[in-house]
Amino acid sequence: MPRMRTVDALVAILEAEGATQVFGVPGAAVNPLYSAFRAHGGIDHVLARHAEAGSHMADGYSRARQGNIGVCVGTSGPGGTDMVTGLYAAWADSVPILCLTGQVPLAKMDKEDFQGVDIVSIAAPVTKWAVTVREPAQIGPIMRRAFHLMRSGRPGPVLIDLPIDVQQVEIEFDPASYRPLPPDRPVLTEAEAAQVVDLIAASHHPLLLLGGGVVIAGAEQVAQELAETLNIPVAATLMASGAIADDHRLAAGLVGIQTARRYANAIFLESDLVIGLGNRWANRHTGDLTVYRQGRRFVHIDIEPTQLGRIFPPDLGLVSDAKAALELILAEVRRRRQQLPDFSDWATQSARHRRQLERKTHFDDVPIKPQRVFEEMNRAFAGRVRYVTTIGLTQIAGAQFINVLTHRGWIDAAQAGPLGWTLPACLGVAKALPDELIVGLSGDYDFQFLIEELAVGAQFHIPYVHVVLNNSYLGLIRQSQRAFDMDYQVQLSFDNVNSPEMNGWGVDHVMVAQGLGCAALRVLKPEDLGPALTQAEAWARDQRLPVVVEVVTERVTNIAMGLSLDKVQEFEPVAASAADAPTSVLPLDL
């Protein structure tokens, strides 16, 4: 039996499991692990500037492609605690990432040693499993269980804590004998599939509602085939944006009280049967449950049994992997096709709502209205793009206006919504998809949280385009403060003595991005948006680095939202004041 250090066995297992993309920050307590990374050569490591950012990079990497598991590494103490936000974001959205932390020696644990912290207890609530390796020979079983848990049922993150002395102990381990465990995935029965089809047969306006579980399972194509066979509309939650292309004739858009299309809510409210697949009835989707539930029946199919009935009891709750469930339901629909109703009128009615309830996007105002930015992004990037974004008014508005035409084309830390997630997640997505167009979407505050990670993209030649809508405001919080009749501590503007041409706008993101080794340009007029986006894409591809497009937008924009699906407040855009705009123009020829 070969003998090797614990960390060498760990790295061999990473290679066997196909988890060879690592994002991390080295430190004294993980130097043995890093020596194993260096010795084996099969690990691609990206050096983050902040441990939290490393965890978000791993998160983005995992979300980009089915089957990916990103790995993040931090040293003992703050290295681990910095990554807790990343673990929470992954856990909340069912994303498998493996977090490896250094730890003080076993004998010093619980003795307040330097940077010794009980990271397992801290991380336990936001992971599927958190464990300290106390016995070196257990590294094989622990790693096998970790990967099995990350992939089984509802996916999620795992943290493995590695005391520095345990890392260096020699153990007997044969990498050739290691075998990954197949994940556990419950499957619908044929009888249960028949129950679903019975409810469809008894309905007049059935609606498929796709959640993030459909994307995780790679079930988008089967869902589309089911919708086309039945000829019924397909709505989505934010986590499933792009599961059916927004330009598909049966696409009913995003339903919700914030990240939603007007026509999607109208279609939903006219449905009498909602078949939820891999969704969790999140509150930003449902709003007031009385309005949401009234007049319709619900089927809820989810891989995680505890999700069923968690928010409200469905008429039919079933436990299954989304793809397996859809395949069985589709087979039953095809078997009974002649006995099922013709839903053509319902499909036509839904399409009419789409045509009649689109929000306006074409504005020529200066400062630029954000709606125009999204119109130009739709035109410039068409269906060739993977969007990456998280919390904020820019994310909400983007979901309302950007057309997503590809599977996994909208990658969003939706449930946790940590500010700063977008930039490092873009780097993770771009590492997973090096030949695809990756476009980050941020407000100025989200962008500033982990802005130093732009240097990582420059150092490691990770290309993507980051569109930053700069209104010098915490826009979402400013809008919610209207309920308190205040505008307090949400303005980001100040007189920047180093960039007077920004006219009191505050941070000069172009200057910062260039200082971090990236390309950047600023757009002040709507007619310059298209050329700037095209140039940014070309620059990112040619130079293999991040390109920032800062768009100076009007300071105050209220975006449609409400407390229930039938009471979403629409705001009519008003003319902007040219006096609010910065005066400088950055030339487009970089």
Is the predicted pLDDT of residue 560 greater than 70, yes or no?
A: yes
- 404 and 540 both lie in a single domain: yes
- In terms of domains, do 151 and 198 share one? no
Coil, strand or helix: which one is 235?
strand
Does residue 590 carry a pLDDT above 50? no
- Are 68 and 164 within one domain? yes
Q: What is the mean pLDDT of residues 213-222?
A: 97
Tokens in use for 455?
């240097």
Task: Compute the mean pLDDT over every residue in the chain, rounded to the nearest whole number.
Answer: 93
DSSP labels for 285-308?
A: HH-SHHHHHTT-EEEEEESSGGGT
| Of the listed ranges 173-177, 239-243, 494-498, the one predicted with least confidence | 494-498
Whether the CB-CB separation of 409 and 242 falls below 8 Å is answered with: yes
Cα torsion 496, 502, 504, 508 to 10°: value is -50
Predicted confidence at residue 503, as pLDDT, reads 74
Q: Which of 136-145, 389-398, 410-419 has the highest mean pLDDT?
A: 136-145
pLDDT of 367 strictly over 70: yes
Q: Which residue range(s) make up the domain with 7?
A: 3-177
pLDDT of residue 228: 97
Task: Show the tokens assigned to 452.
Answer: 């130093």
Whole-angstrom distance, CA of residue 242 vs CA of residue 238: 9
Q: Could you read off the pLDDT of 146-197 as tens digits, one per residue?
A: 999 999 999 999 999 999 999 999 999 999 999 999 999 999 999 999 999 9
Of 177, 203, 219, the position where a domain reaches its end is 177
Position 589 pLDDT exceeds 80: no
Which comes out higher in pLDDT, residue 190 or 499?
Answer: 190
71 and 209, same domain (yes or no): no
Domain CATH code at residue 402: 3.40.50.970
Say if 312 falls within a structural domain.
Answer: yes
pLDDT(365) > 60: yes
Number of separate domains in the chain: 3
Distance separating alpha carbons of residues 142 and 150, to the nearest angstrom: 12
Q: Rounded to 5 degrees, what are φ and ψ at 387?
A: -85, 145
Question: How far apart, in whole angstroms, are the C-alpha atoms of residue 99 and residue 74?
Answer: 8
Name the one residue in this structure whose structure tokens are 């020979």. 137
* pLDDT over threshold 80, residue 519: yes
| pLDDT, tens only, 24-68 | 999 999 999 999 999 988 999 999 999 999 999 999 999 999 999
User: CATH number of the domain that 332 lies in?
Assistant: 3.40.50.1220
Task: Compute the average pLDDT of residues 258-286.
Answer: 95
Edge-to-edge strand ranges of the sheet holding 273-277 = 251-254, 234-236, 206-210, 273-277, 297-302, 316-319
pLDDT at 184: 94
**Distance in angstroms (rounded) separating the CA atoms of residues 554 and 556:** 6
pLDDT, residue 116, reads 73
- Per the domain annotation, does 55 fall within a domain? yes
Q: Where are the alpha helices (DSSP H) in 206-293?
A: 212-216, 220-230, 262-269, 283-286, 289-293
Lowest mean pLDDT among 56-60, 389-393, 462-466: 389-393
- Decide if 477 is inside a domain: yes
Q: Determine which of 101-110, 266-275, 440-449 has the lowest per-residue pLDDT on average.
A: 101-110
Per cent of the chain over pLDDT 90 is 82
Percent of the chain, pLDDT > 70?
Answer: 97
Above 50 in pLDDT, residue 579?
no
* pLDDT of 219 above 80: yes
Residue 246 in domain? yes
Residues 224 and 167 placed together within one structural domain of the fold = no
Assigned domain for 446 exists: yes
Which pLDDT score is estimated for 293? 97
| Domain endpoint, select from 356, 380, 401 | 356
Rg (CA), the chain: 25
Mean pLDDT of 355-372: 91
pLDDT, residue 574, reads 56
Torsion angles phi and psi, residue 273, rounded to 5: -145, 125
How do beta strands 410-412 and 316-319 pair? unpaired
Tell me whether strands 44-47 and 273-277 are parallel, antiparallel or unpaired: unpaired
What's residue 501's pLDDT? 75
Q: What is the DSSP string of 136-173?
A: GGGHHHHHHHHHHHHHSSS---EEEEEEHHHHH-EEE-
* Residue-level pLDDT at 391: 87
